[in-house]
Structure 1
Amino acid sequence: MSATTTSVHGKAASEPAVAGSRPGSAMQQEVTRLLPGPLLAIILAVLCAVVLIPIFYIFLASVNTDIGVAGGEFWPSSFSLENYTKIWSSVGLAKGLANSVLVAGATAVVSAAMSVSTAYVLVRYQFLGRLTILRGLLALQSVPGTLMVLPVFVLFSSAASYLGVQVIGTQWGLFITYLTFAMPFSTWVMVTYLRGLPRELEEAARIDGASNLGVLTRIILPLSWPGIVVSGIFAFLLGWNDVLFASVMTRPDSQTAAVALQIFGASQEGGAIPMYGQMMAASLVCAAPVVILYLIFQRYLVGGLTAGGVK
């Protein structure tokens, strides 16, 4: 009788606890949610509209006629892909895209590869000047690139006089310029990422006889792909979107896609009816590689950007 009473009372006592845990978890979800559900949905819809409506208009203008775009038509009266075929001859986009892919891609690969080894030394080893280098990497991010145009141009142009090496107007000269600005940021991203990797894995590899290079190539590199992808993509964007340095450091045969778009847009000023359709089509074509890059490496980007946030 007592056992039955105890079991009944125990069951009755446990039921309120279980029943009480559900409102608690629901209340916790409501507390952790920053905004109410309907308001959050409205804000997200507005933000998506702000981003997607201009892109949708650019696409509609790219398949519209120049007269239709100039007349203020939002929805084209007739759809045509003729603008996408004309841009390769009028804008000179093929050569510009090839130069952009070559220079920006090389900058991304070299910057990501060098930043891993540099960050590994800065994180795992103690030496004189280590903190100074880390603070210098952070300080370099606050220097505007506009202030560096003239010093970089003078330095590279003087190389032809003193060293007999032509740097201005070459693709590798633009590559060195982008690499100079991409390395500090890429190294800082990798420093933040490598700080979150456990040292026990490296110690176990050293016990098995792995050298410093073996630890870097067999342990650090496979675990650092999210950080490597983040640093590489940001270095790629630096070279892909730049107009200022590319305008100064290139010639017509080595100009990038961004410079080709700028020249084409400037040539349309003062005309009777600018080639709006071709400008919109060229803009979408130049933006497509970056969008595809983000879609391919999206899962690595999320892991790399959030690395180091939790210790």
Structure 2
Amino acid sequence: MTATRSIVVPRAVNRGGRPAPTRRDSDVTRLLPRPLLVTVIVVLLVVVLAPVLYILFASVNSDVSVAKGAFFPTELHLDNYLKIWTTVDLRNGLLNSVLVCGAVAIVSAAIAVMTAYVLVRYAFKGRLTVLRGLLALQSIPGTLMLLPVFVLFASVATALGIQIIGTRWALGITYLTFALPFSTWVMVTYLRGLPRELEEAARIDGASSFRILTRIVVPLSWPGIVVSGIFAFLLGWNDVLFASVMTNAESRTAAVALQVFGATQEGGAIPLYGQMMAASLICAVPVVVLYLVFQRYLVGGLTAGGVK
């Protein structure tokens, strides 16, 4: 008998020590041919970045050039970023937006994780009804709730003799009623993927339900908590309808301040396009920073529940 020896061909490695992808691997992972893939990426970048670049260029351009439709600035007007703090009530608006939306995000995420833990880990009568109700509440348009919420707050203010409409906490409660159903549903989806064995081991060691929630569930649920909090934050940050009705000159948010500034520019004269674009970019900075800080949590939170 002749012994056969198997020859193992070593796989090429990259400079970092990782195996280099073979032709078969690249064919499997690549969904489109390279020229078509590059074309699609370029088109998407143009669609996404073109409006952003236009706002950026218009914020340092003259109002006359923007009115004529010029894309690139003909002359730099960096003073637009300084003038908006006097022409637009942006400082007060940003402060109110950060306080209200930040509080709504924290409270909504905290209540959502506790509610979702009860709905996922405990079986009780009416549990499915609550879950279906959370899903049904997300299909109700917010515009239909504007008048009922306003009448409710006005009636409570008259009965108690206190001011509700025009305060920050009233606006926060309004946003909280719309953010809680979505935040709770996100946390329900995320907690379903957590292993029960960790909680059972902690319960055997004598840990209470509250201790399990704070020491085990919450540390493992940070991606879902961040996603629910960010969506609650954006719900209030981008809102104009409720903020314009439920606030006054002192408690108006940044979105309402931009709306008021844009309305005052309507008329025969050339609007202050440069200052409007500069104010819009400044209002977008907190959201961009929020996404950059919590980007790694967002990826895990948004894909939670997708694979079982």
Q: TM-score w.r.t. structure 1 length?
A: 0.92
Q: Structure 2 matches for 1:24-103, cutoff 5 A?
A: 26-27=23-24, 30-31=27-28, 33-103=30-100
Residue 32 of structure 1: how far off its partner (Å): 5.2
Residue 199 of structure 1: how far off its partner (Å): 0.2
Q: Which of structures 1 and 2 has the bigger CA Rg?
A: 1
Partner of 1:150: 147
Distance 2:233 2:111 in 1: 14
Distance 1:249 1:229 in 2: 27
Partner of 2:172: 175
Distance 2:117 2:239 in 1: 29
Q: Does 1:209 align with 2:206?
A: yes
Match of 1:200 among 193, 197, 210: 197
Distance 1:220 1:273 in 2: 56
Spell out, residue by residue over 1:258-304, the C-alpha distance to the aligned partner (whole angstroms, 9 max, x if none). 00000111111113110000000000000010001000100000010
Same amino acid, percent of matched pairs: 72
Partner of 2:16: none
Partner of 1:21: none
Letter in 2 for 1:236: F
Distance 1:28 1:223 in 2: 33
Partner of 2:286: 289
Residue 94 of structure 1: how far off its partner (Å): 0.2
Structure 2 residue matching 1:261: 3-state secondary structure = helix
Q: Does 1:258 align with 2:255?
A: yes
Structure 1 residue matching 2:3: 3-state secondary structure = helix
Distance 1:31 1:147 in 2: 49
Spell out, residue by residue over 1:130-175, the C-alpha distance to the aligned partner (whole angstroms, 9 max, x if none). 0000001111111111111111111111111122232111100000
Distance 2:26 2:191 in 1: 32
* Deviates most, 242-251 or 163-172: 163-172
Q: Does 1:191 align with 2:188?
A: yes
The ranges of structure 1 where at least 4 consecutive aligned residues each deviate by more than 4 angstroms after the TM superposition are 25-29
Letter in 1 for 2:6: K
Instruction: Give the structure with the larger helix fraction.
Output: 1
Spell out, residue by residue over 1:185-240, the C-alpha distance to the aligned partner (whole angstroms, 9 max, x if none). 00000000000000000011111111001000000010010000000000000010
Distance 1:304 1:103 in 2: 24
Unaligned runs of 5+ in 2: 12-21
Q: Does 1:222 align with 2:222?
A: no
Spell out, residue by residue over 1:60-85, the C-alpha distance to the aligned partner (whole angstroms, 9 max, x if none). 11011111211222221221211101
Partner of 1:131: 128
Residue 36 of structure 1: how far off its partner (Å): 2.3
Unaligned runs of 5+ in 1: 19-24
Structure 1 residue matching 2:193: 3-state secondary structure = coil
Distance 1:177 1:26 in 2: 56
Q: Structure 2 matches for 1:156-167, cutoff 5 A?
A: 156-167=153-164
Equivalent residues of 1:195, 1:308 under 8 A apart: yes
Residue 27 of structure 1: how far off its partner (Å): 4.3
Partner of 1:307: 304
Q: TM-score w.r.t. structure 2 length?
A: 0.93
Letter in 2 for 1:35: L
